[in-house]
Structure 1
């Protein structure tokens, strides 16, 4: 459905964002916070934890923050309602005009808390669904399907990061017919900040790169296992791995990655452009996200991409044109797909150009920002 038409708004609006972590808030800072504050409005970021770098990032642009960290022991449903109660108290004290809520479990909690205080406008951002798509066991930070239905019934607008997630929730009857919905590719593609990069020489062995969060659902361990399988077949190839902080419930210990003999562990990813400069092929076998930004940045850099055939990820690939799709959670299939690049490295330059062209067809950061401002009734 189309974005609802903007209406007249007060001179200053108070907009609260509820999310899973301070690092997630930093992504929203880049996408939206600064623009909202520049327009004269107030922003409050609410999350269970903030690192010092997160707080510094918010302070720099004049955004406020609040910590929401209720006790989580006891039965899950009881813990969920305690979390919602804590959010209601924080929101009631700040009295927002609009509440934007995202991040799986926090999206659900935030929408229900916002409804509980009678927030004038609630925007639910569905940026990913549970790993098994409601067909298997849930992780500690995942919510059952019916809770998504509760959140969407509480919302005045819903934003999805891929079409598959919207289609599944509609199929399950969880999206109210009257709820305006929109699909955007995560934060969009920034073609100016992520320039097309020349490929390294192809005559010294291929370099594969993965940049992903420290959560098993991002496919990091499958990448390490695939690298081990390929090491014997192609001793000159290199397998690089850089990670980003991740608040997921299936966290990986960095020490476990440092012990992998087949992967060059680079630590925390800082300058992703520099890492992509070294690589011929970008690998991202994650299977529980809405639209992973590392994939979009790799497309913009002009790198063939090898990703899991999962919601969101599959939208980045035209098979055998700019990359490959592989079965999720299958290191053997991933290794075979990586080996296909070893057998035909001559195809990489054309696939690299196709990836950049694919990035140019995705919606830009500015386009996504404009749609979100319209949804917030600030444009």
Structure 2
């Protein structure tokens, strides 16, 4: 079988889809992958997968660039003639779905999150909803990663065909194995892992760090890991950061940072299903995150972490203080309970099996 995978970010495909790709390759399928090139894709474990690099501006709206992407997908599909196309994220879902539908190729779209455009009103939001509706109309299956996104698409009549709900991208519980909790919490290290952009709540986090310092919590330090979105760089440079914040940049391996953390924080505005929280919980770390879809499924409040209101600095500060003042053993037990929940609910092997069943059902009208 020839399988074509379309995504908008190399790291996302490598980190969250590689187990699925390896499974396809082990079953003697021909696997093609198209996304913007990154050296991470040169990893030998993907050597059997043919790469088709393409430029994608995830937030761009230049009509010429959008047409170029659409035509690229059309040429690729005409050349490869895939038996099935898997698409992830908004632009690959829309343009890849449109092309596959036009050429009569079975395709499966995964909604990893609705993005900022669906939180807005106006012309662009209406166009985005219409394009999604057309692109998903003939999808063999639409895969959702949280119930709220599914409900939104149904309520707004954007999907009408077959769909399924999965627990995010899952997490590789062997790679992100349980790590012993730091032995001492007299000095507390709180870790943020994610893209540096407004919608991840990074501004609220920076403000909360300054407030904690002003309140006298000088034993609390923050580490921030992630690459900065281009349209956020100037705003980030203009911020007056607390000396308690260490900017660590992009890190290919976040596990050593998780190991040193007492908690992982994500005050995001919206998520599909937060992979950074899943990975941290899998390693046995308590979570502090927004009470939003894509985070609340992972956290049992005050059991595996503490939730706060999105876009609310005071609520974030309150959650941080509540965590800081917990007894050491309760912090540690939070992490242990989180690990157990990940093992029960979010193991990536279950997600891989679900995709295999969908794909073989749609291509061979049968289940493996």
Smaller-chain TM-score bracket: 0.7 to 0.9
- Per-residue deviation, 1:98: 0.5
* Alignment match of 2:12 (pick from 12, 24, 30): 24
Aligned partners of 1:241 and 1:264 also within 8 Å? yes
Instruction: Determine the structure 2 residue equivalent to 1:376.
Output: 359
Aligned partners of 1:210 and 1:282 also within 8 Å? yes
Aligned partners of 2:267 and 2:288 also within 8 Å? yes
Distance, in Å, in 2 between the alignment partners of 1:58 and 1:115 is 33
Specify every segment of 5 or more residues in structure 1 that has no aligned partner in the other structure, as ranges: 1-12
TM-score by structure 2 length?
A: 0.87
Instruction: Determine the structure 2 residue equivalent to 1:310.
Output: 292
* Alignment match of 1:145 (pick from 109, 126, 129): 129
After alignment, is 361-370 or 76-85 more displaced? 76-85
Q: Secondary structure at 1:199's aligned position in 2? A: coil
Query: RMSD in angstroms over aligned alpha carbons?
Result: 2.9
Q: How many correspondences in the alignment?
A: 358
Structure 1 position 239 matched with structure 2 position 227: no
Distance, in Å, in 2 between the alignment partners of 1:25 and 1:357 is 26
The 1:299/1:257 distance shift into structure 2, 3 A limit, reads: farther
- Per-residue deviation, 1:338: 0.5
The structure, 1 or 2, with the larger RCO (C-alpha pairs under 8 Å, 6+ apart) is 1
The 1:26/1:168 distance shift into structure 2, 3 A limit, reads: same
For 1:150-299, list aligned pairs within 5 A. 150-176=134-160, 179-233=161-215, 234-243=217-226, 245=227, 250-252=231-233, 256=237, 260=241, 261-299=243-281
Distance, in Å, in 1 between the alignment partners of 2:127 and 2:88 is 13
Instruction: Determine the structure 1 residue equivalent to 2:52.
Output: 66
After alignment, is 204-213 or 338-347 more displaced? 338-347
* Alignment match of 2:37 (pick from 50, 71, 95): 50
The 1:143/1:19 distance shift into structure 2, 3 A limit, reads: farther
Distance, in Å, in 2 between the alignment partners of 1:71 and 1:354 is 39
- Per-residue deviation, 1:329: 2.2
* Alignment match of 1:129 (pick from 114, 130, 141): 114
Q: Secondary structure at 1:238's aligned position in 2? A: strand
Instruction: Provide, for residues 50-97 of structure 1, a one-character-per-residue CA deviation record: whole Å limited to 9, x for no partner.
Output: 02332x13784211122334899x975665444323311221121111
* Alignment match of 2:74 (pick from 88, 93, 113): 88
The 1:25/1:295 distance shift into structure 2, 3 A limit, reads: same
Specify every segment of 5 or more residues in structure 2 that has no aligned partner in the other structure, as ranges: 361-366
Distance, in Å, in 2 between the alignment partners of 1:203 and 1:79 is 50
